[in-house]
């Protein structure tokens, strides 16, 4: 009986020891778990892209975000525990707002830039009274229309010296290569406008409505084929017609929009010409004759010393373009057979060398051919 009681006591003591050991083990595990969830040094890490990048870039330090967020603020870690070249950050709300959808005026500005406009250009500089300095300041500010107005107003005023007038014309020619002859659009150009193509429109019809040529309309819009015109297409259009002034003493041909030299007109470009030998080019006013503009023209001859030549003959003195003229005033009245054309002798430019016509370099007459309109444009020949 005594031995049985002793055995029972030993069994109870063993069970008590096992229970105490299990309790101590559970307490130890719970303590470790609490440390793991509150100590940032033991938290699981998540790689986060650096702000402003689509993906972690090679060579850039990665940002490390701690997850999950501790329920209690952990004690700050010593700096020595942060790995070199690694940024440590807690994932928070971004400090800057994401870009929003552009507003209406922002879209207009973007479309303006696509079309060559610069709504962010510097403010127009103050005028100094020096025509060429003021024009240069406008050009430096990308204000071609402002520079053109300054130079054109000074030219039309008649107050420039001959040398200054030529300088103004050279600068205006360069400006108008962009403003008039290129596809670049300028919203405040008083000589131009935008035209939205309607169903049934043709290049020739649109050009005639604005007193210009279909060839010029193609050039200004960067097009080579009038058949590719589409409804709802927006075209850059100049309001013509263009007119010309030939100054015999200077061997120049000046192109204008409007009546040359009058208020509201605008100087466009200047070209050098050759004129009739023995001063044979008649003074007066000429009209570009309807139906008399030709590409690759035939030379019909002028007396026994100048026999006819076919269009493709390399000796054809007319070159590739012919603009027929009819006299309407002065010594030109009722005269026919004169015209503006190209040449096979570019060295003759600046001389009296033709049979009486106005001769230009082939590359120059190609532009003049596009600018002058049959039945609309006139050419004034003065001393």
Backbone dihedral angles phi then psi of residue 254, each to the nearest 5 degrees:
-105, 130
Which member of 42, 306, 331, 341 is catalytic? 341
**From CA 183, how far away is CA 6, in angstroms rounded?**
114
**From CA 269, how far away is CA 267, in angstroms rounded?**
6
336 an active-site residue?
no
Which member of 210, 306, 336, 357 is catalytic? 357
Q: Which residues contact 217 (CB under 8 A, 6 or more apart)?
A: 203, 206, 207, 235, 237
CA quadruple 51, 55, 58, 63: dihedral positive or negative? positive
306 an active-site residue?
no
**From CA 66, how far away is CA 43, in angstroms rounded?**
7
The alpha-helical segments, DSSP class H, found in the chain are: 2-38, 104-114, 131-140, 144-157, 162-179, 203-209, 214-220, 362-371
Do 194 and 115 touch, CB atoms closer than 8 A? no
The token duo for 318 is 């007319």
Closest listed residue to residue 218, CA positions, set 256, 176, 255, 181: 181
Residue with tokens 């050991």: 21
Q: Which residues contact 88 (CB under 8 A, 6 or more apart)?
A: 63, 64, 66, 82
**From CA 208, how far away is CA 219, in angstroms rounded?**
15
Looking at the annotation, which residues are catalytic? Answer: 341, 357
């Amino acid at each position: 009986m005594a031995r049985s009681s002793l055995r029972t006591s030993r069994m109870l003591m063993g069970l008590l020891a096992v229970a105490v050991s299990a309790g101590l083990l559970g307490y130890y595990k719970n303590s470790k778990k609490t440390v793991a969830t509150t100590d940032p040094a033991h938290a699981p890490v998540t790689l986060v892209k650096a702000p402003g990048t689509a993906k972690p870039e090679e060579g850039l330090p990665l940002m490390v975000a701690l997850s999950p967020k501790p329920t209690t603020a952990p004690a700050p870690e010593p700096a020595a525990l942060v790995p070199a070249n690694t940024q440590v950050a807690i994932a928070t709300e971004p400090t800057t707002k994401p870009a929003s959808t552009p507003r209406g005026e922002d879209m207009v500005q973007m479309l303006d830039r696509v079309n060559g406009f610069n709504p962010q250009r510097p403010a127009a500089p103050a005028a100094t009274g020096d025509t060429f300095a003021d024009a240069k300041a406008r050009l430096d500010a990308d204000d071609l229309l402002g520079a053109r107005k300054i130079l054109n107003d000074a030219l039309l005023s008649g107050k420039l010296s001959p040398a200054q007038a030529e300088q103004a014309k050279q600068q205006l020619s360069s400006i108008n290569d962009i403003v008039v002859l290129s596809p670049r659009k300028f919203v405040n150009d008083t000589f131009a406008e935008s035209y939205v193509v309607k169903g049934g429109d043709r290049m020739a019809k649109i050009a005639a409505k604005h007193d210009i040529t279909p060839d010029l309309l193609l050039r200004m819009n960067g097009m080579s084929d009038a058949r590719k015109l589409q409804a709802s297409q927006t075209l850059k259009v100049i309001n013509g017609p263009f007119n010309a002034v030939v100054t015999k003493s200077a061997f120049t041909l000046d192109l204008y929009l409007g009546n040359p030299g009058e208020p509201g007109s605008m100087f466009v470009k200047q070209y050098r010409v050759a004129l009739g030998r023995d001063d044979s080019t008649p003074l007066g006013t000429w009209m570009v004759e309807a139906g008399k503009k030709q590409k690759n023209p035939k030379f019909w001859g002028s007396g026994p010393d100048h026999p006819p030549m076919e269009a493709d003959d390399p000796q054809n003195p007319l070159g590739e373009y012919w603009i027929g003229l009819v006299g309407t005033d002065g010594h030109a009245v009722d005269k026919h057979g004169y015209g503006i054309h190209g040449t096979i002798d570019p060295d003759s430019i600046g001389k009296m060398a033709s049979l009486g016509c106005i001769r230009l370099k082939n590359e120059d007459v190609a532009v003049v051919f596009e600018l002058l309109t049959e039945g609309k444009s006139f050419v004034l020949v003065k001393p």
